[in-house]
Amino acid sequence: MNVLTAPFAYPFMMRAAIAALAVGVLCAAMGTFVILRKLAFIGDGIAHASFAGIVIAYLRGSNYYLGAAVVAVLTALGIGFVHRRGRISMDTSIGVLFTGAFALGVFLMSRQSNYAVDLESFLFGNILAVQQRDLEIVLGLTIGVAIALLVLYRGLLSTTFDPVVAEASGIRAGVYEYVLLVLVALTVIIGIQSVGIVLVAALLVTPAAAAYQLTKRFAPMFGLSMLFGAVSSIGGLYLSYYARGSSGATIVLFTTMLFFLALALRSVRQSAARRTIHASSPALSK
């Protein structure tokens, strides 16, 4: 029992666990829509684009996460705009916008002779350094995005499955697309605190991809994805405590392991189903 409770004797671990749980569940919920819209690239893209916001915030002397959030949201809106107006695929639009924003960050940084931002914590996350104020911001944003998801759930679902029919029925698929992009941008920024720019895409994509292996219906996929997100965050945090490794990396490793477990389980179930069909239809096995 002590093994389970020991890490949380430290207040910083308790704060980290709460933040990781919120981030894991939120990313996994958003990820369900992200992978079904075939936007797996977007988490990576927005995370990299936010780097420009961090540099601009540093130059202006303002909050880094606020800077990252502003640039992430603007990039998300730009991705939607370029996709629609430029008549190019969303992936292409993401590719154009995120590299442009990232290059802006690199350019601005290259003009500075001294650069004091702790880049490592943005690149790889540092959830153990979450302060009370950070936790409040993470929880506030998580609750806000969660409420938006709850309110927009049906519209997001129908525009994800069939945007053309939804649009014809009067559900504004374009508006939902922009809203989803903004929610993803905010989610990514929350996730950066946990696992960093480099790995945040995994929190968005992997739990949902794992859930997709195990169910053929959306609602259970949505629920399973959030469960996998929660288990990965807490499990990864425990692992990092006892293995003395990077918390962000272990969280992502944990969720990757869950994905392969789900993949294996699906293969086992498919094999069993095939055996049942052959057993009940002897002609098939000849």
Residues forming contacts to another protein in the complex (CB under 8 A) are 36, 150-155, 157-158, 160-162, 164-171, 212, 215-218, 221
Smallest distance from the beta carbon of 195 to another protein, in angstroms? Answer: 26
Number of H helices, E strands in the chain: 12, 0
> Closer CB to another protein, residue 134 or residue 167?
167
For residue 199, CA distances in Å to 9, 23, 32, 269 come to 28, 13, 17, 31
Smallest distance from the beta carbon of 228 to another protein, in angstroms? Answer: 15
Smallest distance from the beta carbon of 39 to another protein, in angstroms? Answer: 13
> Closer CB to another protein, residue 60 or residue 216?
216
Smallest distance from the beta carbon of 96 to another protein, in angstroms? Answer: 22
> Closer CB to another protein, residue 118 or residue 162?
162
> Closer CB to another protein, residue 219 or residue 284?
219
Residues 169, 41: Cα–Cα separation, whole Å: 29
Tokens 């629920």 appear where? 223
Smallest distance from the beta carbon of 162 to another protein, in angstroms? Answer: 5
> Closer CB to another protein, residue 63 or residue 267?
267
Residues 204, 196: Cα–Cα separation, whole Å: 12
The rounded Cα 160 to chain-centroid distance in angstroms is 17
Return the closest-CA partner of residue 156 out of 141, 146, 170, 171: 171
Cβ atoms of 88 and 94 closer than 8 Å: no
